Amino acid sequence: MSESSKLFTHAATRIAVVGGGVAGLGLALSLHQRGIACDVYEAAPQVKELGVGITLLPHAMRELARLGVQSKLEAAGIENLESVFFNRYGQFIYKEPRGRHGGAPFPEIGIHRGKLHRILYEETLSQIGSSRIHLDHRCIGVEQDEQGATLHFVDAAGVSRPSVRADIVIACDGVNSTLRRQFYPDEKLAFAGINTWRGVTVHPPILTGKSYMRVGSIHTGKMVIYPIVDNVDGKGRQLINWMAEIQREGESMNDWNRPGNKEDFQSIFAAWKFDWLDVPALIANSQQILEYPMVDKDPVSQWTFGRVSFMGDAAHPMYPRGSNGSAQGLIDARTLAQLLATTPDPLAALLAYEQARMEPTARVVRTNRSTPPDFINIKVDELTGGKPFTHIDDVISQEELRQISEDYKRIAGFSAEALKAG
């Protein structure tokens, strides 16, 4: 044990969590459950229900159930019954039951991202108290010495706020993490020419009304579609979340959270009028469209630098395929909280956390690039030359497609065996 760590094992460890997103709030709640205090510093001046949809996979719901918010999330979202895959001609490829309908001990929930954040924020506020959640604190850097770490902040207007001392700092400040950049100043986002547009549309239920749909592939145009609010208008219609994706060689990167322009992508889907869904109408009737790039970062060999460690998207930015980023961040949070509760030296706990989580999340990053769940559609396109087929069984067996899906679940950590093991 280092001399500096001995100085604070005999007193309460001051923990600063930088970032009040899913991972940061999950960590605050996980620590509180174990009798450990922390302070959360969030850049946003106020908490608003921003963004569009997110899918909470069974292993994410396992973590959220442990945090005591499962019932609230189920009430605010829609439980997925099935995941269904189609080619860009609307032809059925494969489907499987999801969450509890597929035998998992936890549901799979589609929910508005802002509602998820609001529920987590209000639960954290209730559990740890408003004095420990500091809004309008954008972290601009950290310094370390033998006695602790000093965090520097500015407000939304760029005005300096008082610096904060802590014993350990957990960077939960997202894919564009300021703290990670301090330790990896030359690191670049990995962009492979895939841009996305996300929107929400009030629409009658599609298929079962509880179906998560992947249509087409990124090479020729792909849509991910699922409901996030039921009976949104009192007339039985739902709020449908959708994401359009396309990979184009030499394409410039979309901006972050900027209002999207239909003209940039709707022509790709102009012919997507199926007997079960009119995709051009879904896009045209959208209430809101945002644009994002599909980016990640190469896995790194170190998350922990003395008193500072990374978590969630700051640690392992991954493609938003398979809806797995939030789940991995919540698992990070529970893992670190448990180690801090059972390891006398907090600095040793940070290193043990890094060792436990770095390689599993790196595998997910790599798999999301190479063989994500929608590899099912890519594989079928390859086998058919991108043309319609007479029957999917003439192209590939359902068992082969099921194996692609199961392989991803195993790597991502929500196979039936992993969920039963807890």
Q: Show the 3-state SS of 97-114.
A: ECHHHHCCCCCCEEEEHH
The conformation of residue 253, written as its DSSP 8-state character, comes to: P
Query: Is 85 part of a structural domain of the chain?
Result: no
Nearest Cα residue to 380 out of 394, 362, 365: 394
Co-location of 212 and 267 in the same domain: yes
The CATH number of the domain holding residue 201 is 3.30.9.30
Instruction: Choose among 337, 283, 282, 277: nearest CA to 309.
Output: 337
Residue 4, pLDDT > 60, answer no
Contacts of 155 (CB under 8 A, 6+ apart): 45, 136, 137, 138, 161
pLDDT for residue 85 is more than 50: yes
112-127 residue pLDDT tens? 999 999 999 999 999 9
Instruction: Judge whether 106 lies within some domain.
Output: no
What percent of the chain clears pLDDT 90, i.e. is strictly above it? 81
Q: How far apart are CA 260 and CA 288, in angstroms?
A: 8
pLDDT digits (tens, 9 = 90+) for 345-371: 999 999 999 999 999 999 999 998 888
Does any domain span residue 103?
no
pLDDT at residue 2 above 80?
no
Residues 235 and 283 in one domain: yes
Same-domain check for residues 207 and 276 = yes
Query: Are 225 and 333 contained in the same domain?
Result: no
Looking at the structure of the chain, the number of domains it has is: 2
Q: What is the pLDDT of residue 422?
A: 63
State which amino acid sits at residue 224: V
Q: What CA dihedral angle connects 308, 309, 314 and 315, to 10 degrees? A: 150
In a 3-state reduction of DSSP, which class is residue 339? helix
The DSSP output letter for 260 is P
For residue 416, give every residue at least 6 positions away whose Cβ sits within 8 Å of its Cβ, in sequence order, or none: 102, 103, 104, 409
Whether residues 14 and 64 fall in one domain: yes
Please state, in angstroms and rounded to a whole number, the distance separating the CA atoms of residues 402 and 376: 9
Backbone angles phi, psi at 416, to 5 degrees: -60, -40
> 37 and 119 share a domain?
yes
CB 38 within 8 A of CB 15: yes
Q: For the chain, report the end-to-end CA distance as a whole number of angstroms.
A: 32
How many Cα atoms occupy the beta-carbon half-sphere of 329 within 13 Å? 30
Q: Which of 355, 370, 385 is the last residue of a domain?
A: 370
Same domain, 177 and 149: yes
259 contacts: CB under 8 Å, gap ≥ 6: 288, 289, 290, 291
Q: What are the strands of the beta sheet with 15-18, ordered from one edge?
A: 133-134, 39-41, 15-18, 168-171, 308-310
Whole-angstrom CA distances from 136 to 159, 172, 312, 313, 401 are: 10, 15, 21, 20, 47
Q: Is residue 24 part of a domain?
A: yes
Q: pLDDT tens digits for 210-229?
A: 999 999 999 999 999 999 99
In this structure, the strands spanning 149-154 and 138-144 are: antiparallel
Specify the CATH number for the domain of residue 31. Answer: 3.50.50.60
Same domain, 33 and 161: yes
User: pTM here?
Assistant: 0.93
Q: Which domain holds residue 263?
A: 192-296+372-418
Residue 254 is predicted with a pLDDT of: 86
Rg (CA), the chain: 22
- Per DSSP, the three-state class of 378 is helix
Is the per-residue pLDDT at 321 higher than 80?
no
Domain identity same for 215 and 283: yes
88 assigned to some structural domain: no
DSSP state of 193: E
Residues 36 and 138 occupy one common structural domain: yes
Tell me whether residue 119 is in a domain: yes
| Side chain identity at residue 144, one-letter code | Q
Q: Which band of pLDDT confidence, cut at 50, 70 and 90, is reported for residue 394?
A: very high
Does the pLDDT at position 397 exceed 60?
yes
* pLDDT, averaged across the chain: 92
Q: Could you tell me if 133 and 40 are in contact, meaning their C-beta atoms sit under 8 angstroms apart?
A: yes
Note whether 179 and 63 are same-domain residues.
Answer: yes
Token duo for residue 398: 């359902």
Region 2-29 average pLDDT:
76
In tens, the pLDDT along 298-310 reads 999 999 999 999 9
Is residue 91 assigned to a domain?
Answer: no
CA distances to 23, 287, 322, 335, 339 from 31, in Å: 12, 38, 27, 10, 10
The SS3 assignment for 84 reads strand
Look at residue 256 and tell me whether its pLDDT is greater than 90: no
Q: Report pLDDT for 182.
A: 97
Closest CA to 1 of 406, 348, 418: 348
